[in-house]
């Protein structure tokens, strides 16, 4: 599904939302569908984001990988690219991060998951000067081990898409996560993996439906 007409076509967004899983060990999620719809609306709004938006929801892992590689390929240097994942985040026994698709099997992540390393490679190979990655999943901070966050706490996420505030003359990656390398993400007061936190939680999830100007809690890392 593609959103946006008469947009600034140097801005492109790919939203990957997975909430329905075939593997019994992966809890169905309630937020990704609504989040994808809200985020697509915000990013496609010429007053806010002005992105040409594609939404990929509940597709097999191999198809998602193809869509991601296609998304980053054949871009120009002045393009701004935004990739958003809303799904289960899983870690292998050796600590690598994977994003879950409907056909993902937790015991066969290399074959059935979307490896963070694959996404990193696609981001590194693109000619686009500016790439933004939103990770609304568990263990999002494991996307690039060893990277030190340059900013944390409140961030005016949507405000920075207006005009040329984000990407205007800059170059690099911005990674905004809902959790660090060791944390679960939450859906309200419920753990995204289906459990219940043992103490009150203060979710750090970025809310795509937030109106411009609202402060949201994020963790951000930049690569020059």
Exposure class string for 100-111: b at 16+ Cβ within 10 A, else e: bbbbbbbeebee
Whether the CB-CB separation of 120 and 175 falls below 8 Å is answered with no
Q: Cα(101)–Cα(18) distance, rounded to whole angstroms? A: 6
Whether the CB-CB separation of 75 and 123 falls below 8 Å is answered with no
Whether the CB-CB separation of 96 and 115 falls below 8 Å is answered with yes
Sign, CA dihedral 132-31-40-112, equals positive
Q: Cα(11)–Cα(89) distance, rounded to whole angstroms? A: 26
Whether the CB-CB separation of 16 and 63 falls below 8 Å is answered with no
| pLDDT at residue 144 in the model | 65
| pLDDT at residue 190 in the model | 47
The per-residue pLDDT string of the chain (224 residues; one tens digit each, 9 = 90 and over) reads: 655 544 445 999 999 999 999 988 898 998 899 999 999 999 999 999 999 999 999 999 999 999 999 999 989 999 999 999 999 999 999 889 999 999 999 999 999 999 999 999 999 999 998 999 999 888 776 676 545 444 444 545 555 544 445 545 556 778 887 644 444 444 444 444 444 433 322 233 444 433 333 333 333 333 33
Sign, CA dihedral 82-161-50-127, equals negative
DSSP string of 96-151, one letter each residue: -EEE--TT--GGGHHHHSEEHHHHHHHHHH---SEEEEEEESTTGGGGSTTPPPSE
- The Cβ-side half-sphere exposure at 104, using a 13 Å CA radius, reads 30
| pLDDT at residue 4 in the model | 52
- The Cβ-side half-sphere exposure at 151, using a 13 Å CA radius, reads 13
Residue 52 φ then ψ, to 5°: -85, 115
């Amino acid at each position: 599904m593609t959103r946006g007409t008469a947009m600034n076509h140097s801005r492109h967004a790919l939203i990957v939302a997975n909430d329905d899983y075939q593997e019994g060990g992966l809890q169905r999620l309630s937020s990704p569908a609504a989040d994808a719809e809200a985020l697509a609306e915000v990013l496609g709004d010429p007053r806010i984001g002005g992105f040409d938006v594609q939404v990929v929801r509940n597709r097999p892992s191999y198809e998602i990988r193809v869509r991601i590689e296609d998304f980053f390929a054949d871009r120009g240097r002045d393009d701004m690219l935004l990739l958003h994942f809303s799904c289960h985040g899983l870690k292998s026994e050796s600590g690598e991060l994977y994003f879950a698709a409907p056909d993902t099997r937790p015991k066969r992540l290399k074959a059935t998951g979307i490896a963070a390393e694959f996404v990193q490679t696609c981001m590194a190979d693109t000619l686009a000067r500016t790439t933004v990655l939103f990770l609304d999943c568990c263990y999002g901070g494991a996307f690039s081990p060893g990277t030190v966050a340059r900013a944390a706490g409140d961030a005016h996420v949507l405000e920075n898409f207006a005009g040329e505030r984000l990407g205007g003359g800059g170059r690099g990656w911005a990674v905004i996560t809902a959790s660090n390398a060791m944390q679960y993400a939450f859906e309200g007061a419920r753990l995204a993996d289906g459990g219940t936190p043992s103490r009150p939680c203060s979710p750090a999830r970025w809310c795509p439906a937030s109106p411009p100007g609202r402060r949201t809690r994020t963790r951000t890392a930049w690569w020059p």
